[in-house]
């Protein structure tokens, strides 16, 4: 797994500011009058995100002004009578803010920017306990959006196509439906018996922080497995009943979604069509939450939430791992076991692999892929080979085109080969 850094910047603060506003206010935050208002925001937010997908880079003209309007509407929210209509406007316009935040962390941030998830949640917890009038807390939440109101000096440098995101969308849709179920069912039970308001946020932050290390060591499959395990355990504890187990259930759910949110951002971060990737990814998550929320309205007892949540988790895992299978035409090209005299290495792997090609890799293409398999990023490869970063990317593109696979598939195949024969 190659975790690329794109320079240090304001990515963490941009994401943290947006998340602070989001979890404090429209996403069933302590500033929202009642959780029943959340769908007004979400449905409008979905429409706004799909609009961003269609407009693509044109949203860069509107994102900052619309974010300023969202901040203003947030500040005046407690003084407005028809809150549903205001939430609809906020939901639509904040979709531009959400997409633009993704653009910022992809262009000027790094993987470390994802820690903004934890920063925003902890910041929201701090504001909730801050000893001031509630109307002033709306203002503090609105001010946090200032962190998003700047123009990046760099452009996104991801290299995966938007098509690679499509495989993950059904997984995110079903998995985040359990999040909607949490808002409608578990949260209502938890609010009545929680040890301390906001304590669950600490577990979410812990999930985010652990995700970085887990991703670098074991890859995205580990985040999928851990988030599903934590959520499944949480629903099992909910079934057992009792104040202590209900609190523990919420803690595990929050930790699980810390892993899931980190995986979501990592998936979107690596797509080169940045604006469309983040808008489509966020829209899919919101649709999942809405579906889960309304599914939770069908029944109102713990056994129903437990059963439905568990089915959703199983469905998401079955889908994810069934689509992870190496296609037949690719698996047939997997290098066979090397002879006793051969050394198991990236060079031997590529030599075996290109034997199946009609058009061989050029020396430069071969060397670029060799460094890539050894764990180098494009900047390191350009320094080692004395080439520009753009040239390295072009050689990589040509080589992968000849292999008829993307970079992640190549790296995954290499890891499987090494595990099998090393």
**pLDDT tens-digit profile of 188-233?**
777 777 887 788 899 999 999 999 888 877 878 889 989 989 988 8
**pLDDT tens-digit profile of 32-87?**
978 788 999 999 999 999 999 999 999 999 999 999 999 999 999 999 988 999 99
The domain boundary, picked from 305, 324, 343, lies at: 324
CB 4 within 8 A of CB 377: yes
CB 360 within 8 A of CB 369: no
Note whether 124 and 204 are same-domain residues: no
pLDDT reported for residue 159: 65
CB 227 within 8 A of CB 259: yes
CA distance 356 to 359: 9
The domain boundary, picked from 111, 132, 157, lies at: 157
Token readout for 92 is: 């639509």
The domain boundary, picked from 308, 324, 340, lies at: 324
* Count of structural domains, the chain: 3
Note whether 95 and 168 are same-domain residues: no
Note whether 203 and 236 are same-domain residues: yes
Confidence label for 111 from pLDDT (cuts 50, 70 and 90): confident
Note whether 165 and 84 are same-domain residues: no
CA distance 181 to 167: 23
pLDDT reported for residue 156: 67
Note whether 229 and 356 are same-domain residues: no
Q: Write the DSSP assignment of 247-263 as a string of letters.
A: HHHHHHHHHHHHHHHHH
Question: Structural domain of residue 229, as residue ranges?
Answer: 160-324
CATH number at residue 350: 1.10.10.10
Judged against a pLDDT cut of 50, whether residue 109 lies above it is answered with yes
Q: Comparing 73 with 311, which gets the higher pLDDT?
A: 73
Measured CA angle at 293 (ends 289, 298), to 5 deg: 150
**pLDDT tens-digit profile of 257-294?**
999 999 999 999 888 889 999 999 999 999 999 998 88
Note whether 104 and 182 are same-domain residues: no
Dihedral sign for Cα 30, 33, 34, 36, please: negative
Note whether 4 and 151 are same-domain residues: yes
Note whether 14 and 131 are same-domain residues: yes
Q: Is the pTM of this model over 0.75?
A: yes
Token readout for 148 is: 């998003």
Continuous segment of H or E residues that includes residue 283: helix 274-295
Note whether 175 and 125 are same-domain residues: no
Of residues 197, 192, 263, 270, the one with CA closest to residue 230? 263
- Region 163-177: what's the mean pLDDT? 88
What is the gyration radius of the CA atoms in the chain, in angstroms? 23
pLDDT reported for residue 50: 97
């Amino acid at each position: 797994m190659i975790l690329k850094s794109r320079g240090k910047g304001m990515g963490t603060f941009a994401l943290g500011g947006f998340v602070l506003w989001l979890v404090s206010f429209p996403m069933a935050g302590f500033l929202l009058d009642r959780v029943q208002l959340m769908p007004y925001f979400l449905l409008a937010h979905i429409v706004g995100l799909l609009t961003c997908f269609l407009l693509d880079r044109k949203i860069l003209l509107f994102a900052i002004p619309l974010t300023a309007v969202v901040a203003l509407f947030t500040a005046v929210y407690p003084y407005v009578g028809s809150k549903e209509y205001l939430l609809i406007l906020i939901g639509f316009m904040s979709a531009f803010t959400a997409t633009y935040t993704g653009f910022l962390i992809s262009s000027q941030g790094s993987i470390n920017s994802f820690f903004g998830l934890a920063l925003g949640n902890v910041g929201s917890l701090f504001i909730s306990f801050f000893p001031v009038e509630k109307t002033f807390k709306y203002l503090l939440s609105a001010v946090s959006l200032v962190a998003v109101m700047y123009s990046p000096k760099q452009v996104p440098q991801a290299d995966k196509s938007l098509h690679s995101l499509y495989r993950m969308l059904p997984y995110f849709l079903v998995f985040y439906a359990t999040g909607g179920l949490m808002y409608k069912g578990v949260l209502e039970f938890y609010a009545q018996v929680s040890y301390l308001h906001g304590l669950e946020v600490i577990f979410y932050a812990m999930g985010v922080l652990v995700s970085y290390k887990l991703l670098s060591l074991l890859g995205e499959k580990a985040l999928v497995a851990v988030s599903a395990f934590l959520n499944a355990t949480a629903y099992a504890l909910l079934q057992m009943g009792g104040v202590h187990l209900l609190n523990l259930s919420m803690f595990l759910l929050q930790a699980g979604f810390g892993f899931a949110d980190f995986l979501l951002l990592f998936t979107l971060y690596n797509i080169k069509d940045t604006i469309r990737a983040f808008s489509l990814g966020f829209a899919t998550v919101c649709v999942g939450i809405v579906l889960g929320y309304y599914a939770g309205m069908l029944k109102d007892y713990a056994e129903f939430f437990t059963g439905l949540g568990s089915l959703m988790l199983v469905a998401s895992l079955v889908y994810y791992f069934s689509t992870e299978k190496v296609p037949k035409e690719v698996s047939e090209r997997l290098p066979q076991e090397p002879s006793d005299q051969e050394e198991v290495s990236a060079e031997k792997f590529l030599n075996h692999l290109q034997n199946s090609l009609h058009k061989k890799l050029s020396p430069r293409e071969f060397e670029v892929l060799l460094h890539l398999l050894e764990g180098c990023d494009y900047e390191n490869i350009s320094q080692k080979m004395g080439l520009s970063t753009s040239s390295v990317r072009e050689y990589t593109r040509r080589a992968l085109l000849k292999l008829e696979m993307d970079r992640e598939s190549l790296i995954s195949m290499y890891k499987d080969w090494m595990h099998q024969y090393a």
